[in-house]
Structures are given as structure tokens and as C-alpha cells.
């Protein structure tokens, strides 16, 4: 190698480059010397909340040494962490649990990049974080918009992952994970979950409206419900029956955690053209067909329950009559 280098240097000084010493070319290896294998560049992790160009790196390639539920794993970790570490150390675990949350890492260059928290059937039993280096099909369904789950996404559906127990930042986690549950299975479970939640919400709304219908309501005017502060309003939390002139009908949410409702706004009965005050009467979305027929200026009679701190906002409303 030294001799060949000297030859190239001497040729360079003379302005002659022999074969094998051209710019950018590597000199040939001596006989018997092995060339090192090319090392590929590391796989680039996708951007937050977005799938990489090749989203098929999630295929499960390893067989599990142990199959267990998230309840069992979390119970072992709560009982004796040392024993659990020895029991599961170095083993590929197949863990089935309920999705509590799904999110991406704070920075796109971090590894792992994608996370799914699994819990058992007991919500109070905690959860364990499963880390994925690569995007897997179905992550977008579990984590729509890259936000924490709150009555959306995959919270509550069962999934199965492969991973190894590890400790990071004094926390037990599953590392090197791959998703066993397919995207089609995730989507089917989400559909079933959404349907069940809708049915439960619908039944709860019907039950609440039946209570309002059967309650002994206080008949009031819109201005009776306006509260300017101070002591708790006398109608807070109570069922009232209010008659008033419709100002508008709109869709909206009471807050970020509530579902969409239909609101019938009633004008204040004292100088309505000069007053900014209105009474908001909230109805379940299934009443949309009937409420769509109401026009501003009509007089309606509505029964509903006053909110605790905003008595001029009624909920669980039922429409008694229109004129």
C-alpha cells in the first residue's frame, strides 16, 4: 500500500495519473485483502403525525416468547419490579391490552418515534408505553391529528403488540415494538366502538330528556334566567319551562369535551332589540329535522335544565310547542 501510494504521488507530480489513481477512485486492494461491506444509511424516521414514504416497516418478523395481557404485565410490575424484570428480561412479549393513548415523539429525529399506551380493563391499574421506531398501518386511526385522545381515535379498543420490556427514565416500557393487530382489524374495532358509544350516548340523552319531561318545572321568562354574578342563581340546576321569541338556531359545542348540539336562541323579553342577552336552549342532534323548521321570530315553549353556573343556558331540552 505504501509503495503504491508513493507511485501515485510521484505520477501526480509529473502530471501523469496511472489507472487506479484517478480522482475519486479507490486504489485496488492487495490480493487476499477483503473489502469492507457497504454500510447503508440509517432509516429516517417519518415526521410527526405523518407516515414515512415506505409505511410497511411494521410487519411483525419475530415470534413471541410469551403471550400475556396488559393486566398481567402491569400487575407483575406493580407487585415486584425486580422479579418482573428477571421474568421478562430479553424475551419478546406479545401483549394484548386496551388503547389508552397514542402519540408521536416531541422531535422527529427521536427513536422511538411513535407510542401507544396500553392499559388493562381496570383503568386505575395504570398503563405501559409501547414504542415503535417505524410507522405502522393503523397508527393514524389510533391518533387522528396527533392529539391526545379524548372521545376520539382508538381509546378503548383492544390491540396486540410485540416488544421487549425495558427501562427508560425510571419507567417500565415495551421497546422495539411492532403492531400485531392489522389496520383492517383496528378500523373494524373503531367502527364497533363508535357505534356502541353512539348508542350509549343516544340512550343517555333520551333518559335525561324523559326526566326533564316528568320533572316539576318552574315557568319563567327569558329575563328571569339572566344572571349578573354574585350568589348562586335560584334556578341553577333546576328544570324550567320558558316561552320566548326565537332569535336564531345554530349548531355548536358547549365546550371542547362535549359533542355537537343544536341551540335555539331566545330573545330577552325586555327591550330585545337593545339587549345583547339571549337564552341558549341546547338540544340533542337527533332533533335536527324538527328544529330545522323553526324560523326566527316564532314563539316557542321549551323545557330544559339550567346549567349550574350559566342559568341562561339550558340543556337536555325538549320542544313543547311552536307558534
pLDDT in tens, the chain (323 residues): 444 545 444 444 445 444 444 444 444 444 444 443 333 333 333 344 444 444 444 444 458 899 999 999 999 999 998 999 999 999 999 999 999 988 888 888 888 999 999 999 988 889 999 999 988 888 888 876 544 344 456 788 999 999 999 988 788 999 999 999 999 999 899 888 888 888 888 899 999 999 999 999 999 999 888 776 655 678 888 999 999 999 999 999 887 777 889 999 999 876 655 556 789 999 999 999 999 999 999 999 999 999 888 888 999 999 999 98
136 phi/psi in degrees, rounded to 5: -125, 145
Residue 23 makes CB contacts below 8 A (sequence gap 6+) with 17
**Coil, strand or helix: which one is 79?**
helix
- pLDDT in the model for residue 230: 56
β-sheet bridge partners, residue 173:
129, 166
- pLDDT in the model for residue 144: 66
C-alpha neighbours within 13 Å on the C-beta side of residue 304: 29
Q: Of 309, 211, 223, 231, give the one whose Cα is nearest residue 266.
A: 223
Q: Which helix (H) or strand (E) holds 74?
A: helix 70-79
* Angle in degrees, CA 312, 317, 321, rounded to 5: 105
- pLDDT in the model for residue 231: 59
CATH 2.40.50.140 is held by the domain 66-189: yes
Pairing relation of β-strands 171-179 and 158-168? antiparallel
Q: Which helix (H) or strand (E) holds 94?
A: strand 92-104
What CATH number labels 214-322? Answer: 2.40.50.140
Same fold, 66-189 and 214-322: yes
**212 near 303, Cβ under 8 Å?**
yes
**240 near 217, Cβ under 8 Å?**
yes
Cα–Cα distance, 279 to 246 (Å, whole number): 10
- pLDDT in the model for residue 21: 45
Cα–Cα distance, 248 to 298 (Å, whole number): 10
Cα–Cα distance, 122 to 131 (Å, whole number): 22
- pLDDT in the model for residue 273: 57
Grid coordinates in use for 67? 403471550
Neighbours of 298 (CB within 10 A): 14
**322 near 294, Cβ under 8 Å?**
yes
Cα–Cα distance, 111 to 164 (Å, whole number): 15
Domain segments of the chain as ranges: 1-27, 66-189, 214-322
Amino acid at each position: 500500500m505504501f509503495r503504491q501510494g508513493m507511485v501515485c504521488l510521484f505520477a501526480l507530480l509529473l502530471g501523469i495519473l496511472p489507472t487506479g489513481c484517478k480522482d475519486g477512485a479507490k486504489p485496488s486492494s492487495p490480493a487476499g485483502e477483503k473489502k469492507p461491506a457497504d454500510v447503508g444509511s440509517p432509516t429516517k424516521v417519518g415526521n410527526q403525525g405523518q407516515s414515512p414514504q415506505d409505511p410497511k416497516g411494521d410487519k411483525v418478523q419475530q415470534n413471541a416468547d410469551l403471550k400475556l395481557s396488559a393486566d398481567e404485565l402491569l400487575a407483575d410490575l406493580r407487585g415486584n419490579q425486580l422479579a418482573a424484570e428477571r421474568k421478562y428480561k430479553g424475551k419478546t412479549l406479545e401483549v394484548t391490552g386496551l388503547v389508552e393513548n397514542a402519540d408521536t415523539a416531541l422531535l422527529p429525529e427521536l427513536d422511538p418515534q411513535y407510542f401507544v399506551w396500553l392499559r388493562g380493563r381496570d383503568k386505575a391499574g395504570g398503563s405501559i408505553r409501547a414504542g415503535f421506531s417505524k410507522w405502522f398501518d393503523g397508527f393514524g386511526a389510533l391518533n387522528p391529528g396527533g392529539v391526545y385522545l379524548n372521545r376520539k381515535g382508538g381509546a378503548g379498543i383492544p390491540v396486540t403488540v410485540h416488544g421487549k420490556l425495558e427501562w427508560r427514565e425510571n419507567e417500565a416500557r415495551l421497546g422495539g415494538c411492532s403492531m400485531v393487530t392489522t389496520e383492517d382489524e383496528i378500523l373494524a374495532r373503531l367502527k364497533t366502538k363508535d357505534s356502541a358509544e353512539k348508542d350509549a350516548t343516544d340512550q343517555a340523552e333520551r333518559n335525561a330528556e324523559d326526566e326533564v319531561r316528568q320533572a316539576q318545572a318552574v315557568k319563567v321568562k327569558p329575563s328571569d334566567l339572566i344572571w349578573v354574578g354574585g350568589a348562586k342563581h335560584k334556578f341553577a340546576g333546576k328544570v324550567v319551562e320558558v316561552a320566548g321569541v326565537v332569535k336564531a338556531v345554530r349548531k355548536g359545542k358547549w365546550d371542547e369535551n362535549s359533542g355537537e348540539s343544536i341551540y335555539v336562541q331566545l330573545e330577552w323579553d325586555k327591550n330585545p332589540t337593545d339587549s345583547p342577552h339571549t337564552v341558549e336552549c341546547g338540544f340533542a342532534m337527533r332533533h335536527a329535522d324538527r328544529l330545522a323548521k323553526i324560523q326566527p321570530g316564532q314563539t316557542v315553549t321549551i323545557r330544559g335544565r339550567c346549567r349550574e353556573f350559566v342559568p341562561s343556558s339550558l340543556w337536555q331540552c325538549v320542544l313543547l310547542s311552536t307558534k
